[in-house]
Amino acid sequence: MDNLPRVSANGNTGPVDAALVPRYAGAATFARLPRLDQVERTDVAVVGVPFDSGVSYRPGARFGGNHVREASRLLRPYNPALDASPFGNLQVADAGDMAVNPFSIHEAIETVQQNALDLTGGGARLLTLGGDHTIALPLLRAAAERAGTPVALLHFDAHLDTWDTYFGAEYTHGTPFRRAVEEGILDTDALSHVGTRGPLYGKKDLEEDRRFGFGIVTSSDVLRQGVDEVVAKLRERIGDRPLYISVDIDVLDPAHAPGTGTPEAGGLTSRELLEILRGLRGLNLVGADVVEVAPAYDHADITAVAASHVAYDLITLMGLSA
């Protein structure tokens, strides 16, 4: 260990004690938690995937994971919104970054999938910091293999990400969920997009998405129906299935998340996103990711702060899952 004073409980080694060590000091692990090699077991591993070779517009999400880690220095051990102490309920550790090939999407996908399987081999769950949304496909492959069954998917995003190809490429940040449906790793009775909005290439985009089994809750639906009604519909659709949650930070309005590659006007507020997530307490959450944070466009770290809180609530939900 590093011999720094930590807030620990229930036999779990927690974050560095901010009352004794200033938040801006020391290594920037997620929430100032111990590294994977500093603990004997892990319930949740936080891992970065510095990869953005699948983007179709602005690059930079390869630097997102460490940007979120820096913002996460402000997180505290107790989550009052969910009345839980996630780092006391679970042994959470920072597994560092996967070393992925930035020049070969195919090799990168294989590496992410194998690393995810290695990290979950002892029963741990993954909270992954991207990186662009291409990485969701190998993460879903690993989650379905560990679950032994196709998984339910709750996808927060401005975009559908069920397009077929870009410039003839089958694996990009706009195609992971189409590929996942085609591979049979998603439970097509329990798929939902939340927060989608903005122009599409044509009406057939929606028709194809519906054919894959997705239900859509647009950002306008969240506004008009309210968080509670949206949560009730999502819970009914998901049931007790093993659930994977994928959060593209561009689900938030650019006012709340300017630091992303493909921003769209009219998105969710950070409060709406967090409240929807908190409404999923008790579901069988087997893994999650937060992707598409691009620091170069993130003035005042607004996006990284939002992403760090999303990741924090996802970890809390893992401790409260069925």
Residue 110 lies in a domain: yes
Which residues belong to the annotated binding site?
A: 133, 157, 159, 161, 248, 250
Burial of residue 38 (CB within 10 Å: 0-12, 13-18, 19+) is middle
Q: Cβ(237)–Cβ(280) under 8 Å?
A: no
314 domain-assigned: yes
Assigned domain for 93 exists = yes
How confident is the prediction for the chain on average, in pLDDT? 97
Residues in the annotated binding site for Mn(2+):
133, 157, 159, 161, 248, 250
Name the CA dihedral angle for 65, 289, 291, 88, rounded to a multiple of 10 degrees.
-40
As for how many domains the chain has, the answer is: 1
| Pair 303, 69: CB distance under 8 Å | no
- Its domain, for residue 59, covers 30-319
Q: Is residue 15 part of a domain?
A: no
Compute the distance between CA of residue 262 and CA of residue 58 in angstroms, rounded to an integer. Answer: 7
What would the pLDDT profile of 26-62 be if each residue is shown by its tens digit?
A: 999 999 999 999 999 999 999 999 999 999 999 999 9
23, part of any domain: no
206 occurs within a structural domain: yes
Asked, for residue 221, whether it belongs to a domain, the answer is yes
| Contact predicate 130/290, CB 8 Å | yes
**How do residues 200-255 score in pLDDT, each as one tens digit?**
999 999 999 999 999 999 999 999 999 999 999 999 999 999 999 999 999 999 99
Read off the pTM: 0.98
For residue 177, is it within any domain?
yes
> Domain containing 158 — which CATH number?
3.40.800.10
Q: What's the pLDDT tens digit per position in 108-167?
A: 999 999 999 999 999 999 999 999 999 999 999 999 999 999 999 999 999 999 999 999
